[in-house]
Amino acid sequence: MTWETIPQMVLSAGDRFGTAEAVVDGPLRITFAELAGRVRRAAGAFASAGIDKGDRVALWAPNSAEWIVAAFGLLTAGGVLVPVNTRYKQDEAEDIIRRSGAKLLLVEQGFLGVQYSGPDGVPVIDLKSGFLSDGQPFECAVSGEDIADIMYTSGTTGRPKGVMMNHRQTLRLFSEWCDLADLREGDRYLIVNPFFHMFGYKAGVIASLIRGATILPVPVLDVDRVLELVEKEKVTTLPGPPTLYQSLLAAQGNWDLSSLRAAVTGSADIPVELIRRIHDELPFETIMTGYGLSEGGTATASRPGDTFEEIATTVGTPCEGVELRIAADNEVLIRGYTVMQGYLDDPAATAEAIDADGWLHTGDLGTLDDRGRLRIIGRKKDMYIVGGFNAYPAEIEGFLLEHPAVDQVAVIGVPDERLGQVGKAFVVAKNPVTAEELIAWSRERMAGFKVPRTVRFVDSLPLNATGKVMKEHLKDLVG
């Protein structure tokens, strides 16, 4: 079935799946038919609040049933969704809300003890206030080419930029994602990935409504709560970061996890042994990994039949309709219908990211194996040169994670009089180990230029709002 717009797809789910559960959020249980009704009323509430076609509305709130109703109600009213990261502080959020031109801001007051406010002149509405249910049923005519959402990049360097995607490309991509991830009608999908991110919203909420899976939103990643829900609600689908699966392995004897069937993860440095253990020790029948970014959606994915090593060390092959090329400097370039419509109000940055031939320059570095599988070896800006040799931190970090004493690690290049730059590793240890032992261990497994010259042990790594290591902050610790 092909839909032109996200509202068409969402509202049709009421007819397609009827009385099946669409959302389970604590005591709140909503069927697909009820969800369609709530979305139409929310659309009327937005229209009554003065939201016209093309107007932007910011949503700064955790995963919840109300978030889902608000997002799709807004799109059904013809508006454009601007999700805001819940880990942002007031000034960071206000910068995005202001630059997006949002006419309204929706929040969940009191979440984590915070009272949210927006920039001057932007009305603030509490998702729990009853606003969403106050409208008369309404639908606005929307085109597949209209912008559906503006997702701001996580901003590891510089200010976050607003990535514009339209309805049609989102629906096409995440319809295919359902097949790649083995998402089925009747699945029960526990969504730990935040809705403000593409993984949570599009590969989570939108995919579930395309396929007819029940959504179980989790506002804060609490492993005990996740395990409780898996057992109680018979969760079948549980995507998440590698650390989530490590927690499941550690706790499996205390909970009934037998309902789990489909796992989806992604990282440049998943240990092969972790993938093997997920398959052998947990009930999962399928494990998918992939590669994507805000500007280009999901670009590659693993396929059924891939080996543990292929799933762990590569991010699969290109999705249908996506071209992939490795540039002379090893940068990953992608082209196809998934590439963004551009950065909001920033034609210069758009032209820098997408060249005249339509190739999106991802900023990631990669290689292709003889079967066309992509391996991510680092970020272009993170690469450093040791005596003329290119060193890729992600590759070195992957080696170091194999050491039994290493829990987390980040590697950066630091100045060196003789070699220009050398590696410095910041390590969160889970067992006692010395810097000398790690360096000696590394020399047995890596080429000499890759081996970190120094190791600094830290209690934690600095993370941005989407969980990526902020290496600029690590450089401030170099001494």
Specify whether the CB–CB gap between 288 and 184 falls below 8 A: no
213 in a structural domain? no
Q: Report the SS3 class of residue 342.
A: strand
pLDDT digits (tens, 9 = 90+) for 352-362: 999 999 999 99
Number of neighbouring beta carbons within 10 Å of residue 284 = 21
Q: Average pLDDT, stretch 66-93?
A: 94
pTM above 0.75, yes or no: yes
**Top mean-pLDDT range of 48-52, 251-255, 363-367:** 48-52
* Confidence at residue 253, expressed as pLDDT on a 0 to 100 scale: 82
Mean of pLDDT over the chain? 93
Q: How confident is the model at residue 348 (pLDDT cuts 50, 70, 90)?
A: very high
Find the helix or strand (DSSP H, E) in which 281 lies: helix 272-281
Are 411 and 425 in contact by the 8 Å Cβ rule? The answer is: yes
Q: Strand 262-265 to strand 214-217: parallel, antiparallel, or no bridges (unpaired)?
A: unpaired
Number of domains, the chain: 3
Asked whether residue 157 carries a pLDDT value surpassing 60, the answer given is no
3 state SS of 6: helix
Tell me: pLDDT of 203 over 90. Answer: yes
Of the residues 312, 346, 381, which one is the last residue of a structural domain?
381
Q: Is residue 109 included in any domain, yes or no? A: yes
pLDDT at 288: 95
Best mean pLDDT range from 156-160, 181-185, 417-421: 181-185
**411 within domain boundaries:** yes
Residues 372 and 433 in one domain: no
Cα separation, 49 vs 103, in Å, equals 10
Both 353 and 461 in one domain: the answer is no
Its domain, for residue 446, covers 384-475
Q: Does residue 235 share a domain with residue 106? A: no
Do residues 306 and 447 share a domain? Answer: no
pLDDT of residue 257: 95
Residue 374 shares a structural domain with residue 393: no
* Phi (first) and psi of residue 36, to 5 degrees: -60, -40
**119, 233: one domain:** no
Percent of the chain scored above 70 by pLDDT?
97
Burial string for 99-108 (b: 16+ CB within 10 Å, else e) reads bbbbbbbbbb
Give the single-character DSSP code of 117. -
In-domain check, residue 388 = yes
What Rg value do the Cα atoms of the chain yield, rounded?
23
Q: What digits encode the pLDDT tens for the residues 441-470?
A: 999 988 888 999 999 999 999 987 666 788
**Are residues 24 and 39 in contact, defined by beta-carbon separation less than 8 angstroms?**
no
Residues 325 and 237 in one domain: yes
Q: 374 and 438 share a domain?
A: no
Pairwise CA distance, residues 455 & 324, whole Å: 36
Question: Please, which residues have CB within 8 angstroms of residue 355's CB and are 6 or more apart in sequence?
Answer: 361
- The two tokens of residue 232 are 């109680």
Give the pLDDT confidence of 82-98 residue by residue, as tens digits: 999 888 888 889 999 99
Sequence-ordered list of residues with C-beta below 8 angstroms from that of 97, at least 6 positions apart, any chain = 58, 60, 82, 84, 105, 118, 119, 122
For 26-30, the CB contacts below 8 A with 24+ separation are 28/65, 30/65
Planar angle of CA 431, 454, 478, nearest 5 degrees: 105
d(CA 12, CA 70): 17
Q: Which of 351, 381, 411 is the last residue of a domain?
A: 381
Q: How far is the C-alpha of 208 from the C-alpha of 16, rounded, in Å?
A: 13
CATH number of the domain encompassing residue 317: 3.40.50.12780
CATH number at residue 114: 3.40.50.980
H or E stretch including 276?
Answer: helix 272-281
pLDDT score recorded for residue 465: 63
Question: Would you say residue 383 has pLDDT above 50?
Answer: yes
* Residue carrying structure tokens 């980040």: 410
379 in Cβ contact with 365 (< 8 Å): yes
391 shares its domain with 370: no
Q: Residue 322 in contact with residue 359, Cβ under 8 Å?
A: no
Q: Render pLDDT for 124-142 as a digit per residue (tens, 0 to 9).
A: 999 999 999 999 999 999 9
Tell whether the model's pLDDT for residue 211 goes beyond 80. yes
125 lies in the same domain as 252: no
Among candidates 46, 374, 67, 356, which has minimal Cα distance to 195? 67
Token pair of 34 as six digits? 């009820």
Boundary (domain end) residue, out of 363, 381, 399? 381
- Give domain status of residue 237, yes or no: yes
Domain match, 331 and 315 both: yes
Same domain, 149 and 4: yes
Residue 156 is predicted with a pLDDT of 45
